[in-house]
Amino acid sequence: MHNPFEILNFRAQVTPDFPAFFDGVSNLNFEQLHRTCVQASEKLAEAGIEPGQKVYLLLPENLAFITTMALFHRGAVSCLGLADADVPANPAFDWVISLQPDSDIQGVANISLGQEWFTAAGRNPASAPMHSYPTPDSVCRLIMTSGTTGQPKAVGLTPELIEQRLYRNHLVWGSATGNEINLMGHSSIGGFMGSIQLLQSGKPVILPANIDAFSKAISQFQVVSLLSSAMALFRLINAKALSPADLAGIREVRLAGSALTSGMVHRLKQECPVARIFNVYGSTEVGAVGMIQITHPDQVWKTAVVQPGAAAEVVDETDSPVPTGTEGIVRVRSSGMISGYMSDAADESFRDGWFYPGDRGLFRNGVLCLTGRESEVINLGGVKISPMDIESAAESVPALTDVAACQVEMPNNTEALALVYVAEAVVDIPQIAEVLKTRLPATQIPSQYFQLKEIPRNAMGKIKRRELSQMLSNSLKAQSPG
């Protein structure tokens, strides 16, 4: 496969009248989706986009998917950014496609995708041939990731890597029979690969453009499976976008992107009473590593059974494997992994054919169990504390809907342990502290407590712990009379 667009070519010929795309506005079968994408490709060619050029997308999910497939057909390289995100300087992009009026965005030529643009594209003949990428190893898609350092880096996916990952994903992710909604977002590896996998399976890509379209999509397509980060799913549930009636038919929930907590599992079992809950572990750099079913809230210590085609080891600081049951540094590899980021600088995260994602963990009864992030271990006076232990204890307080632990700098330049929480009403802090005292040693009891409207998280639901720590430290210093 020299171009992921070949998947849509195949489906348009073999199952042309099968449902292929739904966003609440458009409802396309595979033949119609194919024609729409080719027409958009022809319109992009008129604008001057050439094969091999890099295009940065600032678009909602439904338009981003159509545009991505059109850029594949054109043989260009696409990357979806987050709303209001700056255009990355590295790698350099040739074009931006957005909803903004035609003008340069940060010095890069912008193409505006308004209704007039699509109306004009619909008049194209849809006869242009697909441009194959030069080789199976040519980059066709960029995914921006923070890697293990928190600094933005570009992961280059090639047709060959996409094909290898699609094969492995079907081994363990295709357990539900029926249609699914992918809530992970196409800027993430899970969102992008999830939609490509749906095309390959001959299933519709369902990207509701608004809250009302979710309920309509679940009913119309008899959706039985949800793929999401935990935070994205809970935001929809809390916003009442998914009603109990909508969730009653969900048979499988696959969660990826951030660690599960017992509180999350308990809540999901209330909201989706008949659904099987799976924890999926992987990374942008490696793809899926494995998954496991979580049948009870007290099983969240389980992260994944490693799938065929992938491998995981736990090693010490000298990269030597440690005995089963011993905590250490996690390293992973797979067919379909990249060998480095798209930059000239060597990255220590890639060594000897392994990727080091920055996780710590151990193997227990053949199951990989993550215990935290190397970079997030809190060191207070020589005492090392895992913020995940504090968060797991804090979420047992019923009034708290989200929690995060971090280190803060006090006005007197000392370091302290803080708990940040979200709640619908004011919560008595001593009440929280009392619960924590029954579950944690004295060295892990926070001395500082902060109630926020929302805890900062990335697109995959991971806590932006450094950003949170800095924000709280600045707030404490601003409140100090000195």
What is the predicted pLDDT for the residue at 392? 83
Q: Does residue 345 surpass a pLDDT of 70? A: no
**Range list of H helices, 250-349:** 262-271
**Of 19-33, 61-75, 176-190, which range is least confident?**
176-190
**378-397 pLDDT, tens digit each:** 888 777 788 888 988 898 88
Six token digits for residue 96: 């931006």
Query: CATH number of the domain at 5-364, out of 3.30.390.30, 3.60.10.10, 3.40.50.12780, 3.40.50.12660?
Result: 3.40.50.12780
Q: Over range 94-115, report the average pLDDT.
A: 94
Looking at residue 142, what DSSP letter applies? E
What is the predicted pLDDT for the residue at 347? 80
How far apart CA 2 and CA 12 sit, in angstroms, is: 18
Q: What's the angle, vertex CA 165, arms to CA 257 and CA 302, rounded to 5?
A: 40
What is the predicted pLDDT for the residue at 84? 67
Q: Where are the beta strands (DSSP E) in 233-324?
A: 252-255, 276-283, 287-294, 305-306, 310-315
How far apart CA 194 and CA 173 sit, in angstroms, is: 10
**Range list of H helices, 347-447:** 387-394, 429-437
User: CATH fold of 380-479, please?
Assistant: GMP Synthetase; Chain A, domain 3 (3.30.300)
**Of 6-10, 212-216, 447-451, which range is least confident?**
212-216
Domain boundaries, the chain: 5-364, 380-479
Q: Does residue 147 surpass a pLDDT of 60? A: no
Q: Does residue 105 surpass a pLDDT of 80? A: yes
**Three-state SS at 8:** helix
Rounded (10°) angle between helices 230-238 and 262-271: 50
Nearest to 54 by CA among 40, 35, 68: 68
Q: State pTM to two decimals.
A: 0.86
Q: Over range 291-301, report the average pLDDT.
A: 90
- Could you identify the residue written with the tokens 């054919």? 353
How far apart CA 192 and CA 199 sit, in angstroms, is: 11
**150-182 pLDDT, tens digit each:** 567 899 999 999 999 998 887 766 556 789 999
What is the predicted pLDDT for the residue at 245? 85
Mean pLDDT of the chain: 90
Looking at residue 374, what DSSP letter applies? G
Q: Over range 182-195, report the average pLDDT.
A: 92
